[in-house]
Every structure is written in structure tokens, then in C-alpha cells.
């Protein structure tokens, strides 16, 4: 069982930056796939970035060039650096982990992930 806890969300103006974090209760390298999802009101949860155990990263088109997923294996922390934020990025952001995954991309469905955090709110004003 792995617990995940996100932090670092907040309110920023369009064009600003935020870095959100996800502290895991166990080694991130035990997970085949780590991901950041977001869910805006009235919308489906969508993956914005994933990182595989081997370090390969994948981004949704909306995140490419603006978001960077990374992890600190020594501290068991997953990060999402978000730059040039837009009002459309306003959402609850969730950290997720899947223990055994055949692949790890932003196309992977949310229901495949085994562990979830409680979420951290990101609000971007225009």
C-alpha cells in the first residue's frame, strides 16, 4: 500500500508558475508508472504528465513545453513544474501511481492507477 500526498497548489495569474509536489510513503521506483492528473469542474480526469520507472516522460499536448514532470527518488517525491500557466489549467491536480504497467503514457486510463492522492487545487486567473 502506498500513500500519496500532494502539496504546492495555489492561485496564480496567467503566465505565472507553480511547482506542485507529491510525497510518497514508499519508493517511487517500486511503481512502474507515476502520473499527474487534473480534473476541472464538469470535466473528466485527464493525465497531463507521466514518468515511467526508467525515467521516460510523456506529456499531454496541452502540457507540452509548459509542464515538466520529475522525481527525486532519494526523497520519494514526484514534482510537476508548471510554467506559463493559463486560466484553462485551473483544476484539481492529483498524483497517481501504478505498480505494474505495460506502458506509461498520458493515454493510460485513470482507472488503471492503483494509488491516488487527495489532490491540490491550482487556480489561474486572467
Cα distance between residue 55 and residue 51, in whole Å: 6
Strand duo 10-13 + 120-125: pairing? parallel
pLDDT exceeds cutoff 90 at 126: yes
Q: Give Cα 10 to chain centroid, integer Å.
A: 15
Let me know: does 5 contact 13? Beta carbons within 8 Å. Answer: no
- Average per-residue pLDDT for the chain: 96
pLDDT tens for residues 104-121?
998 889 999 999 999 999
DSSP 111: G
pLDDT tens for residues 15-68?
999 999 999 999 999 999 999 999 999 999 999 999 999 999 999 999 999 999
Question: Can you give the pLDDT at residue 32?
Answer: 94
Question: Can you give the pLDDT at residue 101?
Answer: 85
pLDDT band for position 102 (cuts 50, 70, 90): confident
Let me know: does 95 contact 34? Beta carbons within 8 Å. Answer: yes
Among 121, 116, 125, 106, which Cα is nearest to 39's? Answer: 121
Question: Can you give the pLDDT at residue 33?
Answer: 96
Cα distance between residue 84 and residue 57, in whole Å: 19
Amino acid at each position: 500500500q502506498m500513500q500519496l500526498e500532494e502539496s504546492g497548489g495555489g492561485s496564480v495569474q496567467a503566465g505565472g508558475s507553480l511547482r506542485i509536489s507529491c510525497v510518497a510513503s514508499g519508493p517511487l521506483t517500486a511503481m512502474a508508472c507515476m502520473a499527474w492528473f487534473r480534473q476541472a469542474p464538469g470535466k473528466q480526469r485527464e493525465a497531463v504528465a507521466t514518468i515511467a520507472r526508467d525515467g521516460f516522460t510523456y506529456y499531454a499536448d496541452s502540457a507540452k513545453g509548459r509542464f515538466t514532470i520529475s522525481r527525486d527518488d532519494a526523497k520519494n517525491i514526484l514534482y510537476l513544474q508548471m510554467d506559463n500557466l493559463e486560466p484553462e489549467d485551473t483544476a484539481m491536480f492529483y498524483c497517481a501511481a501504478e505498480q505494474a504497467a505495460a506502458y506509461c503514457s498520458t493515454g493510460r486510463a485513470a482507472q488503471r492507477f492503483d494509488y491516488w492522492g487527495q489532490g491540490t487545487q491550482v487556480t489561474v486567473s486572467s
